[in-house]
Amino acid sequence: MPLSEFSLIQRFFTKQQITNPSTRLGIGDDCALLSIPEGFELAITTDTMVENVHFFADADPELLGHKLLAVNLSDLAAMGAKPVSVTLALTLPKVDENWLAAFASGFLTLAERYSVDLIGGDTTSGPLTLTVQALGLVPKGRALLRSSANPGDFIYMTGALGDAGLGLKIKQGYNCEHPQAALTRFNRPEPQVEAGLALSGIATACIDLSDGLAGDLGHILQQSRVGACLDWDALPLSTAVQAYINDTGDWVMPLTAGDDYELCFTVSPEQAKHLTIPATKIGIIESQAGLRLCKSSVIQPLEVKSFEHFS
């Protein structure tokens, strides 16, 4: 018996109980309804993943479900917003129950970790395309923007740089001695939700590292109308990434590879002592436009590149 649109969504995506206190009405009516507590604003983001563009047909559906939600939660984290709910637009070429069960499991397991309710969606037939819209709450006036970095601010990032990029290199054939950590970082990115919340009211600007440090920091520089100098020796590189650089000479990779989903943020020197999360100081905001890298005591301009579609 063919599954109807309704019973399909019903079966795989409504097992989840409503757990977030902001959800007034979930799946099943013309719209979902959300209560916004007084003193908060709503943060909204959307991301799409397309087969053969963002992932291959044989991608593990459980990891795909996780990643699709993770990249959206990462955008909320970069605003200092607490995730509350998501909608999911699924375009599927066919009903593959095993695929759907695994995809839903990856998606909902991460959702449950943050009490994120799936409050709506649309299921259509067509080439595999997955779109999430995520909603989060941030105290009024305390959202972390890209546009408010100031000259003299320190630049920090959470976690390590380039491991997801190394994971991609390994998938493309690079022979790494201990590949597992890098592969996990590439396959299963973790949104820095707690870090984003801890930075609200402390960081002056923030962005998540989805397209590479140089390009993403470049957005902060452009929108804040400032420049920056990064300190190569301060970059948090794992042993595996350092070994990759020694091995290949490709020191640009950690600066341009995407998918780390760490947060890059700026903090005034006075506020820096109030940081309560583990983070590494990697540079400084300057009034002179452009991005520079201080490497082996030489300051060189760093051309801003990030992943672009249609190019």
Using CB under 8 A as the binding rule, the residues of this chain from 236 to 295 that contact a copy of itself are none
201 contacts a copy of itself (rule: CB under 8 A): no
Q: Of 187 and 210, which has the nearer Cβ to a copy of itself?
A: 210
Closest CB 40 distance from a copy of itself, rounded Å = 8
Closest CB 61 distance from a copy of itself, rounded Å = 17
Tokens representing 247? Answer: 């091995």
Q: Of 208 and 240, which has the nearer Cβ to a copy of itself?
A: 208
35 contacts a copy of itself (rule: CB under 8 A): yes
303 contacts a copy of itself (rule: CB under 8 A): no
Q: Of 83 and 254, which has the nearer Cβ to a copy of itself?
A: 83
Spatial distance between the Cα atoms of 182 and 163, rounded to a whole number of angstroms: 5
Spatial distance between the Cα atoms of 170 and 183, rounded to a whole number of angstroms: 7
Tokens representing 194? Answer: 């707690």
Using CB under 8 A as the binding rule, the residues of this chain from 76 to 95 that contact a copy of itself are 76, 78-79, 81, 85, 87, 89, 91-92, 94-95
Calculate the alpha carbon distances from 252 to 21, 162, 166 in Å. 45, 10, 12
Q: How many residues bind a copy of itself (CB under 8 A)?
A: 72
Only one residue has tokens 């890298």, namely: 293
| Helix/strand/coil for 89 | strand
Closest CB 7 distance from a copy of itself, rounded Å = 9
Among 41, 60, 190, 231, binds a copy of itself (CB under 8 A): 41
Closest to 233 measured CA to CA, from 219, 216, 248, 245: 245
Q: Of 207 and 253, which has the nearer Cβ to a copy of itself?
A: 207
* Helix or strand (DSSP H, E) at 143: none
Q: Is residue 125 within 8 Å of residue 24, measured between CB atoms?
A: no
57 contacts a copy of itself (rule: CB under 8 A): no
Using CB under 8 A as the binding rule, the residues of this chain from 92 to 121 that contact a copy of itself are 92, 94-95, 119-121
**Residues facing 240 on adjacent strands:** none
Using CB under 8 A as the binding rule, the residues of this chain from 127 to 156 that contact a copy of itself are 127, 129, 131, 133, 135-136, 138, 140, 143, 145-147
Q: Is residue 208 within 8 Å of residue 216, measured between CB atoms?
A: yes
- How far, rounded to the nearest angstrom, does the alpha carbon of residue 100 sit from its chain's CA centroid? 23
30 contacts a copy of itself (rule: CB under 8 A): yes
CB neighbour class for 177 (10 Å; exposed up to 12, middle 13-18, buried from 19): exposed
